[in-house]
Structure 1
């Protein structure tokens, strides 16, 4: 599988949103219709919020995105791919926070509001800088957070296991954003039992992270579910060799030994 749009993310040659549209196209032939609809909405949103500036414009954008357009968090406890792939999130108006964040970021760009994706435990936030002050948007519901609230949320999410530092709340680079998004999509396809699509996503991630042992292990699992045991053996063996101390490595060793043992049929 070849994904040229994922080959140069270290250099950020393409805008992240353009790459995400390509990811949607890989799974849905009608994706462009929803993308076109979304940009029409963004044009209308930019016009509707034009009278405001700064934080007031950000709040107007948030209100329109979550209330007028009706975007909201996914209702299921375990979300499927339709809550992650951006074209389906546009169509259904519901999605996981990572997808809502990326759509809201693009809405901000159209409205002249640069929003940065911030690496955060649990799910990413968006950051807006205005007049030497940083504001953070919770993509789950559009709540606008200031510094103290971000710190309190960090403590809650990490259950006070880590000491908060602003150095830990970094603007995410394109590679990190895409890996986080694609990892969510991989798990969603596995949850949907759509293993062929999950395999496609694993190959997308491996385009960004070549030879990553954990992704190769996951590819082995997906291949096993697709009844490709011989290929799964190679991937599991690679993982065991690269990560011998990982807790899952021992289980995989036992599984590989079982597969290697001749099975005798009793008559």
Structure 2
């Protein structure tokens, strides 16, 4: 069987050519090792071709984005999975395309990939707790929420969402980092973190290990991820790699609160 880690590392080294959709499909090999990416890339092409019929010549960018949203979330029936939000399948692009349901970031990947094929540059936005997309409108940038049908999200709603995330604490302004553009590696990393969390919640150590292993391809010296991988190796009775990861963690984060317990 092909090495997922080796293939993912090669892809990460050539993301400008391979693109977001291809990267997301490589992540899906965590659960579908024999997945054929070209089949699902063709599905994205077909979605873009169908959406193209809704776009008139000279249509403003925000209208193009809304037309794509109407096609994906209206005609095609893509929707946010509110029934089983933490199902790992919500993070696999092939499953999202097959089942037409997902979470904010995976639905955003579909939206970004379809609009890109139509020549409209749409950015991912790593808003805390809920991924969004951004399109450059005539009067300034517009944020859209693919999880809720691709509808626009205004300043006041963003403030309300931040307030809820902070336990009701007063929030008046949106910090720049909350609406910063998410690059392709950022998006893939966030998808992997969602999967890691889902697998840990299910006590699925083998799949959690595979997810954090790919995260460490993206961020090789992430102390948090080295510690997590070390503990997962330990849980799976893989002593040598567990010791190596935890030693590296101590080198990178010698004063971290967890370091004392690990040394003990």
TM-score (normalised: structure 2): 0.82
State yes or no: 1:15 paired with 2:19: yes
Measure the CA separation in 2 of the matches of 1:8 and 1:246: 34
- Cα distance 1:84–1:156, how it changes in 2: closer, same or farther (>3 A)? same
Three-state SS of the structure 2 residue aligned to 1:48 is coil
Root mean square deviation of aligned Cα: 2.7
Cα deviation, 1:169-212, whole Å, max 9, x if unaligned, reads: 21122232222122112223334444333323222211221122
2:127 is equivalent to residue 127 of structure 1: no
Greater CA deviation, 226-235 or 243-252? 243-252
Structure-2 residue corresponding to 1:263: none
Deviation at 1:48, TM superposition (A): 3.1
Q: Give unmatched runs, 5+ long, in structure 2.
A: none
Q: Is the 8 A contact 2:91 2:106 kept in 1?
A: yes
- Match in the other structure for 1:146: 154
Q: What whole-Å deviation, never above 9, does each CA across 1:15-34 have from its counterpart, x for those lacking one?
A: 22222233334642234334
Is the Cα contact below 8 Å between 1:6 and 1:204 reproduced in 2? no
Identify which of 71, 88, 102 aligns with 1:81. Answer: 88
Q: Is the 8 A contact 2:134 2:141 kept in 1?
A: yes
Q: Distance in 2 between matches of 1:221 and 1:95?
A: 29
Q: Contact conserved, 1:136 with 1:150, CA < 8 A, in 2?
A: no
Match of 2:28 among 24, 27, 33: 24
Alignment match of 1:38 (pick from 40, 44, 47)? 44
Is 1:69 matched with 2:69? no
What displacement does 1:127 show? Answer: 0.7
- 1:247/1:50 CA distance change after superposition, 3 Å: farther
The runs of 5 or more residues in structure 1 that have no matched partner are 258-267
Rate the CA distance shift 1:84–1:137 in 2: closer, same or farther, 3 A: same
C-alpha separation in 2, matches of 1:77 and 1:36? 27
For residues 22 and 145 of structure 1, do their structure 2 counterparts lie closer, same or farther at Cα, with a shift above 3 Å needed?
same
Q: 1:70 to 1:221 in 2, by over 3 A?
A: farther
Task: Verify the 8 A CA contact 1:46 1:110 in the aligned structure 2.
Answer: no
Look up the match of 1:226: 236
CA–CA separation in structure 1 for the residues paired with 2:204 and 2:83: 17
Instruction: Give 1:166 deviation, angstroms.
Output: 5.4
Provide the rounded CA distance (Å) in 1 between the counterparts of 2:111 and 2:211. Answer: 23
Once residues 26 and 126 of structure 2 are traced to their aligned partners in structure 1, the CA distance between those partners, rounded to angstroms, is 23
Deviation at 1:121, TM superposition (A): 1.1
Compute the TM-score of the two structures, normalised by the length of structure 1.
0.81
> Matched residues in 1 for 2:14 and 2:198: separation?
25
Q: Please identify the structure whose Cα radius of gyration is greater.
A: 1
Report the 3-state secondary structure (helix = DSSP H, G, I; strand = E; otherwise coil) of the residue aligned with 1:15. helix
SS in 1 for 2:164: helix
